[in-house]
Amino acid sequence: MEAVWPLLLVYTGLSCAQVSAAEESDPAFRYRWNGYGFYAAGSSVGETNAGFRGGGGGAEVFVWKRVTASADVSALQDNYYKAVGTFGHGGAQAGYHFSDREKVRGVDPFVLFGVGCYFPEEPKPAFHGGVGMMYWFNRHIGARFEFRVGARPYGDNVDGVFRVGIAFR
């Protein structure tokens, strides 16, 4: 009876490895969109040299192969413009993912470029670009890391923002 336990453990381990390998290359799985929420922290370089932080969320949809269209909105607290207090940013982006959409788990790097506007100030276009990656823990949940650089439409400010959050599909 004692010899059964090691065999049972080996069989269980092999079964788990087969399920994991099958999940990694599931040809029926192909995600078409993902949503995300994030915490953002960054700094302006230029006229103000102020830091800010906040949070937000967005969604991304695949429009052709690895090309995406996305939109997000965030609320940020600027440490320099105390009178303004919290301000917002809404944006639309085009992106490219370097990883296959059939991939269930693992690293999914991407780049993006977009346009948005800050509010409640004058809504003028603000351009931004960035790089990032998502790490998918399983079919539905992942972590999202992103760095964006953008120019504000007022003053000579350039913002660098690091975002960390959760992604779902």
Going from N- to C-terminal start, the domains of the chain cover: 31-168
Least confident of 37-41, 108-112, 149-153: 149-153
pLDDT of residue 141: 95
Question: Residue for token digits 């010899």?
Answer: 3
Residue with tokens 């944006």: 91
Beta bridge partners of 37: 57, 166
Least confident range of 8-22, 28-42, 43-57: 8-22
Q: State phi, psi for 8 to the nearest 5 degrees.
A: -65, -40
Strands 33-45 and 158-168: antiparallel
CA distance 2 to 96: 55
Q: Please, which pLDDT band fits residue 4 given cuts at 50, 70 and 90?
A: very low
Class of domain 31-168: mainly beta
- Count Cβ neighbours within 10 Å for each residue of 42-67 and write b for 16 or more, e otherwise: bbbeeebebebebebebebebeeeee
- Binned at pLDDT 50, 70 and 90, residue 48 comes out as low
